[in-house]
Amino acid sequence: MIGLTEILENIGTFAFAISGIRLAAKKDFDLFGAYVVGLVTAIGGGTIRDLCIGETPFWMLNANYLIWSGVALLFVILFRKYLIHLNITFFIFDTIGLALFTVVGIEKTLGAGYDFWVAIVMGCITGAAGGVFRDIFINEIPLIFRKEIYAIACIIGGFVYYVCHLTGVDNSWSQILCAFSVAATRIIAVRFRIGLPHIKGEQE
């Protein structure tokens, strides 16, 4: 099980970094800039979580995350022309990352002794805040605030986890069901083009 989590986490890091690097490429970043945007997309959320719960940022304890972001950079450089054909693959990887990061965020926050509602918030931050950093770095309004069902998927996953917890479901199963509901929410939302309603301005 540990082996699987690690593989999934690396896939998630890779996919998150790819999304940052591709957007950086559209904005004419240099290689270093693209790497940083990719890295921050991958590790930004978990870093905020760790600072808030008083732990050392996870990526400072294991060089994997820096390395996988570098692999993502190399991948984008080498396969630039084929990336567009891999969009569905990246979407799946990204969704795996989102689901897993949410579970990791919830677990780690509960492990540090916080309330469940804090853990759900931290699960959401772990999954979604990296994309906010990415969009701030490329000077755009964060995508997840306007377009996609993304952070909401993390929150739904968090509630599923909580219900499992209340009803005495075994911990491994809680994690699997949480991850599954994050991924399912996101996939259904994208497949059927479901988005949140927008808030209306006053001038209308």
Shortest approach of a copy of itself to residue 198 CB, angstroms?
Answer: 5
Can you tell me which of 5, 145, 173, 188 binds a copy of itself, judged by CB under 8 A?
145
Between 33 and 180, CB nearer to a copy of itself: 33
User: Which two tokens mark 8?
Assistant: 């999934």
The number of beta carbons lying within 10 Å of the beta carbon of residue 39 is 26
Q: Answer positive or negative: Cα dihedral of 64, 129, 76, 104.
A: positive
Between 32 and 192, CB nearer to a copy of itself: 32
- Closest by Cα among 61, 75, 56 to 16: 75
Q: What angle do CA 156, 7, 9 make, to 5 degrees?
A: 40
31 counts as binding a copy of itself under rule CB under 8 A: yes
Binding site for a copy of itself (CB under 8 A): 21-22, 24-34, 36-37, 47, 51-54, 56-57, 60, 63, 66, 73, 76-77, 80-81, 83-84, 114-115, 117-118, 121, 132, 136-142, 144-147, 151-152, 195-203
